[in-house]
Amino acid sequence: MLTKTTRLNLVDQVILQIESLIESGEWQVGKKIPAEPELVVELNVSRNTLREGIRALCHAGVLMTKQGDGTYVSSGSTLGAAIQRRIQKSSLLDTLEVRNALEQEAARLAAERRTEQDLEKIWFYHQECSSFTVSRDMEQYVAADMKLHQTIVESTGNQMLIDLYAHITEAIQESITIYLRKRFTDKLPQDEHHQLVEAIAAQDSKAAAKNVQQFFDQLKRDIEMEEM
């Protein structure tokens, strides 16, 4: 629920409350936010204060105003919007190198820290990947693959790593889908992450990190060959 602002810097308070509503999922990405008159009453601020806060969030890429329609949530956070803008200026290879670094550390920490409940979820999404490989369902495979990696990252218990990974993964998902369609024209990869999951299950942090490195080394070579 929205709470009335009480501090002197009302614009900052408006921004913080709107960010909180978005990050909590109450205001979802792609959805229209409440109309201005409603927000003015609930936040107990003037129209000018509200508009200034919304303008700042639009500039940051979190909100987007459509003329004659209203204002929509365009990103889950200011961090996500900033990362999205940066990725748009970077090559796929540069972005994958950053993802590689995050996933290696995530694999290492997940192997050390994962619980039995974490492991059950990791195996579940790995099995889903295998299932969609058999049915050759690219969209479902990509979704399950992303969920598998996100679950591994969540198993680390490191909230900053979880947040960073969530934003960078969201930003490159479309690029990865396009790449997979080019690479696997007749079939999807077979048991691509089985060794990784096995290493995490065995709590072998070195093997888990090494598996991620090998995967991205091959991915990088494939992309470089395509660009030649």
| pLDDT of res. 170 | 64
Quote the pLDDT of residue 40: 93
Same domain, 104 and 188: yes
- Give the pLDDT of residue 67: 86
For 209-213, what is the mean pLDDT?
A: 94
Number of Cα atoms under 13 Å in the Cβ half of residue 105: 12
State yes or no: pLDDT of 226 exceeds 70.
no
Q: How confident is the model at residue 84 (pLDDT cuts 50, 70, 90)?
A: confident
pLDDT for the residue numbered 7: 47
pTM of the model: 0.69
Closest CA to 157 of 123, 124, 118, 196: 118
Q: Are residues 142 and 175 in the same domain?
A: yes
User: Of 43, 58, 76, which closes a domain?
Assistant: 76
What average pLDDT score do residues 195-222 get? 92
Over residues 43-71, the pLDDT tens digits come to 889 999 999 999 999 988 889 999 889 99
* pLDDT of the residue at 113: 97
Other Cβ atoms closer than 10 A to 78:
17
Tell me how far apart the alpha carbons of residues 162 and 167 are, in angstroms, rounded to a whole number.
9
- Which residue, 76, 104, 126, sits at the end of a domain? 76
Question: Around 112, how many Cα atoms within 13 Å sit in the side-chain half-sphere?
Answer: 12
Of the candidates 66, 62, 78, the residue with the CA atom closest to the CA atom of residue 29: 62
Residues 72 and 31 placed together within one structural domain of the fold: yes
* Three-state SS at 32: strand
My answer on whether 23 and 130 are in the same domain is no
In a domain, 5, yes or no: no
- Characterize the bridge pairing of strands 70-73 and 63-66: antiparallel
Number of domains within the chain: 2
* Domain limits for position 72: 10-76
**220 in the same domain as 155:** yes
Please answer whether residues 118 and 154 qualify as being in contact, where contact means their C-beta atoms are separated by less than 8 angstroms: yes
Using a pLDDT cut of 90, give the percent of the chain over it: 42
| Separation CA 122–CA 150 (nearest Å) | 9
**CATH code at position 157:** 1.20.120.530
Indicate if 62 and 110 belong to the same structural domain.
no
Confidence of residue 126 (pLDDT cuts 50, 70, 90): very high
CATH of the domain at 53: 1.10.10.10
Output the pLDDT for position 92: 75
The whole-angstrom separation of Cα 97 and Cα 219 is 10
Is the pLDDT at 93 greater than 50? The verdict is: yes
User: Do residues 106 and 211 share a domain?
Assistant: yes
Specify whether 147 is located in the same domain as 166. yes
Please report whether residue 220 resides in a domain: yes
Residues 186 and 90 in one domain: yes
What is the number of other CB atoms lying within 10 angstroms of the CB of residue 12? 13
Render pLDDT for 147-195 as a digit per residue (tens, 0 to 9).
Answer: 999 999 999 999 989 888 887 876 666 666 666 666 665 555 666 789 9
Q: Is a pLDDT exceeding 50 seen at residue 107?
A: yes
Residue ending a domain, among 53, 76, 99, is 76
Residue 4 lies in a domain: no
Residue bearing tokens 């690029």: 175
Q: Do the domain assignments include residue 3? A: no
